[in-house]
A and B are shown apart, each in its own frame.
Chain A
Amino acid sequence: MLKEQLLAVLPDLDPASVVPSASMRSLGADSMDRMDVVVGTVEALGIDAALHRFGDAANLGELTDLILEAVPA
C-alpha cells in the first residue's frame, strides 16, 4: 500500500528503487509529497491515529513498521 501511494505521488519513480532502506527524501519526494504519501496510506488502510506518530521514520522500512503498528486489528 505504501509503495502504491508513493508511485501514485511520484509516477516517474522506478518501482525497483522503492526498498525498505530508502527514504522518501532520497527518492526525490519533497515534504508535501511525503505528506500526501503518509496521509494517503493511513487513510486507505482505515487508520484513525494521530499523524505525528509517523513523523519520525528515517526510511520506508521504519515507516512501514509504524504503519503496521497502527493498523486496526
Chain B
Amino acid sequence: MSETVLQAEALSIGYPGRQGAPRVIAADLYLRLHAGEVVCLLGPNGVGKSTLLRTLVGMQPPLAGRVWLDGADLRTLPPHELARRLSVVLTERIEVGQLSAYALVALGRHPHTDWTGRLSPRDEEVARWALEAVDAVSLAHRQVHELSDGERQRIMVARALAQEPLLMVLDEPTAFLDLPRRVEMMRLLRRLARETNRALLLSTHDLDLALRSADALWLLAPGGVLYSGAPEDLVLGGAFEATFASDGIAFDRRQGSFQVHPPAQQRVALIGDGLVGMWTARALERSGCLLVAAHEPAALRVVIAGDEQTPRWEVMANGGPPQYVASLHALAALVRRDHGAVDTPAPPAGPGDHSE
C-alpha cells in the first residue's frame, strides 16, 4: 500500500518569463503519492492547480526541482514509456464522431500496441477489464456521442485505466456531473485505487466530497503554499482557513464546510432532537440564529412538538405568549420578523456577540 509512485523534490512550478524573471506559482514543493491512494488537490480558482497537475504529468517542464515517477526522472522518460506509467482524464470535451464506447476505451491501449495499432487479445482483454472496473459494460455498444455526461466520464476513466498506468491524474472529474453522479464518481475512483492498487490524483472544487473520500488532500493556497495531509489533520490544523482565506468566507471546522449563512444575530434555544431537530437547526442557522443549550439565556425558545410526520413548533419570545407554526418556512419568517435586523449587513460578529 505504501509504495511510492510519484515523488516531487524541491519542485518549482510556473512559467519561464519572456524577459527577466520567470513567473513562479509555487516553489520548493515536496510531494509524494502512494499506490492505492486517492489524493485530492484543492485550492481557490486561479491559484495554479492546473499548472501543478500539468507539471506533474510532464506536459510542462518544472522551473526547478525534479519529479520522479516509479523511480524514473519524468524528464528523461520517453513519451511512450511515460504513457505506460501515467494516464490522464481531462476536462476538455471530446468529439470523436462514430466511435463506440468500447472502441474509445480500446484507444487507451495506444502505448501498448505496435506501430500498426493492432489490438492483441490481451489488449482487448484489458479494455474489457477496464469497462468492467467502472461498471460500464452495458455502455460498450453505445456511440460515445449518445452518452450522458456521467456515462461519458466513466468511459474516459475506463480509457485512462486501459492504459494500465501506475498513476491516474484526473482534472476535475466531477465538474459537469450532478450531485448523485459526483458521489458515484468519487466512490468509483476510491474503489479503483484500492482494488487496482493505483495512485489517483484529482483536482476538484468539491470540498465536501474530497473531505469525505480522499486519503490525503493537497491544499494549494494563494502564494504557492501547499498543505498536504489527511483531510482531518488539515481541518484541525487550520489549513482550510489559510487556503481559502482570501475568498472572504468562513470555514466551519465543526461542519467541515464553508459557512454560507450570515453571522448569527440572536441566540435561540432549540428543544428537541432527531431528524426534525436537525433540519430545524439548519433552518434557524440559515435565518441568522446562534443555537444555544436549553439552560442558557436566549432571545427565543423553540420547542419541537408533534411527531416526525406532522411536526409543529412552539416559539416563545422572552417569556411572551407561545406561538405555533406548522412549517419551517413559517418558523424562519417568524424568527426574521422577531429581530428584523438581518437585512442590513452586520459587521462580522464573533460567536455569542449579538446586538439585541
Whether chain B is bound by chain A comes out as no
Q: Which A residues lie at the B interface, using CB under 8 A?
A: none
Which residues of B line the A interface, CB within 8 A? none
